[in-house]
Amino acid sequence: MKNLLNIVNENDEIIGQETRKNIHQNGLLHREIHVYFITPNREVIFQHRAKDKDAFPDLLDATVGGHVEIGDSYEQTAIKEAEEETGIKIKISDLIPLGKVRKYFPDKTTDIINNCFNSRYIYIYSGNIEDLRVEPGKSLGFEIYSLEKLSALSDSERARFIPFILTCASTELLGFIENLKIN
């Protein structure tokens, strides 16, 4: 049945399956990925979520995000979602692992609970933001932020981001990018 995802335990071991809807309604622990596209100028590209998304609508998100489907690895999901959400074909060797975190994040506006292991990656994107394909019905487009702009956001600018994404971008991701060697 489509829309079934793996449920995992605190050790990220598969213990069952459930629908995406039930996973988010009941806050069941599952797997997700994020891929942050970084330009050679050390800018971060964020995806602007569609206004009718079931969680965190109309907010800025990682460039690419998605649930790990049954039978797929985190890396396979990152590759598949990158092509679906941006039109860019990447290889596993193009992914720079940022790490895996455990996150629990309820969306108070939609009553969705995101309780997951989130494996995060960086992809060095040398193209133009205009060349990224918007996935119809899921995204409104992409926005690009320099490190300087990310570290000096006003409260109204901060409110445009999913809080977890902004926290990751303005701390861990920021430090990683500053030290990243880009050819």
Every domain of the chain and the residues it spans: 4-179
Longest Cα separation, the chain = 45
Q: pTM of the full predicted structure?
A: 0.93
66 in Cβ contact with 81 (< 8 Å): yes
82 vs 32: CA distance, rounded Å: 13
Q: How far is CA 178 from CA 62, 75, 131, 170, in A?
A: 18, 24, 25, 11
147 in Cβ contact with 42 (< 8 Å): yes
Residue 82 has pLDDT above 80, yes or no: yes
Helix (H) or strand (E) run with residue 160 in it = none
Residue 167 has pLDDT above 60, yes or no: yes
Q: Report the top-level CATH class of 4-179.
A: alpha beta
Predicted local confidence at residue 88, as pLDDT? 97
Helix (H) or strand (E) run with residue 173 in it = none
